[in-house]
Amino acid sequence: ETGVTQTPRHLVMGMTNKKSLKCEQHLGHNAMYWYKQSAKKPLELMFVYNFKEQTENNSVPSRFSPECPNSSHLFLHLHTLQPEDSALYLCASSQDGMGETGIYFGEGSWLTVV
């Protein structure tokens, strides 16, 4: 059982759709992250929130819009995506923004854009 839960686990959407990925952490952490994992590429950091404040936006296109209403929940709103956005999206959390004890990942949301 994971302390970081992601829903949905699988999502298929058209390029004109609007959908959202949800992440919830039950670890009492204060920092949350979105990572993108594509085939044959290293994990890419997309966004970081620390105490609900966005502190990192790693040059992510505006068709990805994060939202962090509180320290336990993180959303990734998706709009007008492209087929190359198909990937595994991993949510993670850490005790604080330093992450010295490591960051803890959810099981990921598989996104397919058709």
Contacting positions for other proteins (CB under 8 A): 2, 31, 40-43, 45, 48, 50, 55-56, 58, 88, 90, 92, 96-108, 110
Helix or strand run (H / E) with residue 52: none
CB 68 within 8 A of CB 54: yes
Spatial CA neighbour of 14 closest among 65, 80, 71, 101: 80
d(CA 50, CA 85): 25
**Smallest distance from other proteins to CB 21, Å:** 14
Smaller CB separation from other proteins, 96 or 112: 96
Smaller CB separation from other proteins, 14 or 53: 53
Smaller CB separation from other proteins, 67 or 107: 107
For residue 66, how many other CB atoms are within 10 A of its CB? 20
**Smallest distance from other proteins to CB 43, Å:** 4
